[in-house]
Chains A and B, each alone.
Chain A
């Protein structure tokens, strides 16, 4: 089976830094994605890791360790608009290497 785990909820303060962790145990691995989803809206792409290490993109960074089955999303200089659910997704391969499986998401609340 495919297992992707994230904390259910997190709370942080405006201007602070928050790290959202994701661990996975999957039948295959072709890359890991982070998505942001505001309430009532569709998920939107944030970041992608396929090799070990850190990918930085403005206020958002994502880290991957394939040997540990672990990733995190780091959000810096938090803003109120960052209140959303953050979804970790793994391309687990399979037929034509394209099966994309999501975790349950982490609901982040940013407080003033």
Chain B
């Protein structure tokens, strides 16, 4: 297993367009997280799944954001009607649900809204 994989690595889109990102976690991990990170800041929690169930969602997440993990494996994060303020690095992480459960991160998708 090569770790957490995110696609695409970079996305440039025009304001108002919809974008979708994909995350493939480490295969035996049942927890999956999405974070947003801007320059000089720590990762900001967006949402979290355990298997296919979305268990937590940040109150900061507007209705334009939606995430799915249909079969408890890969996950998608969609942003509708993108705004310039959505420009950021979107990080996905996965972990086991037992024991120390440290999160392993993917390389992220850098979104630029122009």
Contact = CB atoms under 8 A, between A and B. Distances in A.
B48 A100 contact: yes
A96 interface: yes
Interface of A: 31, 33, 41-45, 48, 50, 85, 87, 89, 91, 94-96, 98-105, 107
Given A33-B102, A42-B105, A100 B55 contact: no
Given A45-B102, A98-B97, 11 more contacts: A44-B105, A50-B100, A85-B42, A94-B55, A96-B50, A96-B53, A98-B95, A99-B48, A100-B33, A100-B48, A105-B40
B75 to A, nearest CB: 14
Q: How large is the interface on B (under 10, 10 to 19, 20 to 34, 35 or more residues)?
A: 20 to 34
Given A42-B107, A45-B102, A105 B41 contact: yes
Interface string B58-97: 0000000000000000000000000000000001010101
B93 to A, nearest CB: 8
Interface of B: 31, 33, 35, 40-45, 48, 50, 53, 55-56, 91, 93, 95, 97, 100-108
